[in-house]
């Protein structure tokens, strides 16, 4: 049963336009309140002696699928590209732990979970999910990619100085209580949200925020959050109106976009939305999940928008800046001088679909890598700028060897 929820913001539909100027953020008016003596009552922020370094990202590439899958190439190539381009340190790329099944069962139907674990899930259900036949490798991969979001969440809460972490897969936003769809089996976002609630990371009267910018609506996430985490979560989904899923769920805030929207209009709308979220939720958000699907890119096989690589990079920077601005208004997050000034944030890879005929692997992987690179290295607050140590002079291009990718390269790639 789904509990009712009053939506504070209406669904809005925006049409494409190329003549509206972008509005950029300026931070000169923000002043750090260094004299604020509020007691820091977040148990996770006080745990500074257990530092795990500055940043982390979790790769499940070693748990690869035995057969070709449309997402397999990027799952393998993005961690490798991040490391080779010095966007992150090699030591910051980690292998996730498997997800605790009892936590999964706090979010999903027990029968659904057990059938996937023991292989009795029907071929029809597996086909709807998009993973082909069930086998041990699929199961092993799923429990680790779901675990990756939980590992990243723990790092962002407790360990990373940056308060940011990434899952180099995941973002299972089409997964519902008792069924999966659209390449999503279990919903790693809501499962990690459950962990936040269980562990007391979401304070009284506060919420975790889901920013879902995949081109497809986060229908499963919205449904599950209403079902399980009403009053503890806020779901914001900005997606293409005429795209999968045909039947849309009600997020706390849905923003629907018309086909073929380009950078300028998209970024203006996102900027306005983030401003509204800031005004309505400042001081009330304890954690941010960023479903950072890059299927908004022009030419994506399953997308209908027309963003450039630069536009997606700007999108990611705007989300990173938003998390910083939200923390500036919240003494919980800027009185801890040992850590970055931002709401803890975890990104999941989400969608981004290669057109093999045109060989768009480098474009998709570049966009995903830019998301992680942005979260690792992009800071607008002066206090954090000295933390940058890596060479980040070429933010848009990956090593040229990725061009010319073929399906066979999946099997030849050294896996991190």
Site residues for Zn ion per CB under 5 A:
214, 216, 293, 295, 351
Rounded to a whole number of angstroms, the minimum distance from the CB of residue 351 to Zn ion is: 3
CB of 260 to Zn ion, least distance (A): 17
Give the chain as a 3 state SS string. Answer: CCCCCCCCCCCEEECCCCCCCCCCCCCCCCCCCCCCCCCCCCCCCCCHHHCCCCCEEECCCCCCCCCCCCCHHHHHHHHHHHHHCCCCCHHHEECCCCCCHHHHCCCCCHHHHHHHHHCCCCHHHHHHHCCCCCCHHHHHHHHHHHHHHHHHHHHHHHHCCCCEEEECCCCCCCCCCCCCECCECCCHHHHHHHHHHHCCCCCCCCEEEEEECCCCCCHHHHHHHHHHCCCCEEEEEEEECCCCCCCCCCCCEEEEECCCCCHHHHHHHHHHHHHHHHHHHCCCEEEEEEECCCCCECCCCCCCCCECHHHHHHHHHHHHHHHHHHHHCCHHHHCCCCCCCCCCEEEECCCCCCCHHHCCHHHHHHHHHHHHHHHHHCCCCHHHHCCCCCCCCCCCCCCHHHCCCCCCHHHHCCCC
Q: How far is the CB of 356 from Zn ion (least distance, A)?
A: 18
By C-beta, is 240 or 381 nearer to Zn ion? 240
Whichever of 270 and 328 has its CB closer to Zn ion, that residue is 270
Considering the complex, what minimum distance in angstroms separates the CB of residue 296 from Zn ion? Answer: 9
Nearer to Zn ion, 301 or 387 (CB): 301
CB 328, min distance to Zn ion, A: 31
Which residue has the CB atom at the shortest distance from Zn ion?
351
Please, which residue, 14 or 244, has the CB nearer to Zn ion?
Answer: 244
Is the Cβ of residue 284 or residue 301 nearer to Zn ion in the bound state? 301
Residue number with CB closer to Zn ion (172 or 351) = 351
Shortest distance, position 305 Cβ to Zn ion, whole Å: 11
């Amino acid at each position: 049963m789904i509990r009712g929820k009053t939506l504070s913001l209406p669904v809005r539909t925006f049409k494409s336009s190329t003549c509206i100027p972008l509005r950029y953020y300026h931070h000169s008016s923000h002043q750090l309140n260094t004299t604020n003596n509020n007691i820091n009552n977040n148990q996770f922020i006080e745990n500074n002696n257990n530092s795990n370094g500055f940043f982390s990202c979790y790769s499940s590439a070693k748990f690869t699928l035995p057969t070709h899958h449309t997402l397999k190439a990027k799952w393998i190539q993005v961690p490798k590209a991040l490391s080779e381009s010095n966007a992150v340190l090699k030591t910051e790329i980690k292998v996730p732990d498997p997800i605790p099944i009892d936590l999964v069962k706090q979010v999903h139907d027990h029968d659904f979970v057990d059938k996937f674990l023991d292989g009795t899930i029907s071929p029809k259900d597996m086909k709807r999910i998009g993973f082909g036949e069930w086998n041990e490798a699929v199961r092993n991969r799923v429990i680790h990619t779901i675990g990756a979001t939980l590992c990243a969440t723990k790092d962002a809460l407790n360990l990373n100085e940056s308060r940011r972490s990434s899952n180099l897969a995941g973002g299972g936003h089409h997964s519902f209580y008792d069924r999966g769809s659209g390449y999503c089996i279990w919903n790693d976002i809501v499962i990690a949200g459950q962990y936040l609630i269980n562990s007391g990371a979401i304070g009284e009267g506060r919420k975790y925020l889901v920013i879902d910018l995949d081109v497809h609506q986060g229908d499963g996430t919205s449904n599950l959050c209403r079902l399980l985490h009403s009053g503890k979560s806020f779901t914001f989904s900005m997606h293409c109106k005429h795209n999968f899923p045909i039947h849309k769920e009600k997020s706390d805030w849905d923003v629907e976009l018309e086909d073929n929207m380009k950078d300028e209009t998209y970024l203006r709308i996102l900027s306005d939305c983030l401003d509204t979220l800031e005004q309505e939720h400042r001081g009330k958000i304890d954690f941010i999940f960023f479903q950072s699907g890059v299927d908004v890119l022009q030419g994506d096989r399953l997308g209908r928008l027309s963003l450039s690589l630069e536009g997606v990079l700007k999108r990611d920077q705007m989300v990173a800046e938003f998390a910083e601005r939200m923390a500036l208004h919240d003494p919980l997050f800027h009185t801890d001088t040992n850590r970055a000034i931002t709401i803890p944030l975890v990104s999941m890879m989400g969608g981004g679909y290669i057109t093999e005929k045109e060989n768009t692997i480098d474009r998709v992987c570049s966009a995903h890598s830019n998301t992680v690179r942005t979260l690792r290295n992009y800071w607008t607050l002066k206090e954090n700028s000295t933390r940058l140590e890596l060479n980040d002079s070429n933010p848009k291009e990956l090593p040229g060897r990725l061009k010319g990718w073929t399906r066979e390269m999946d099997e030849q790639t050294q896996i991190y």
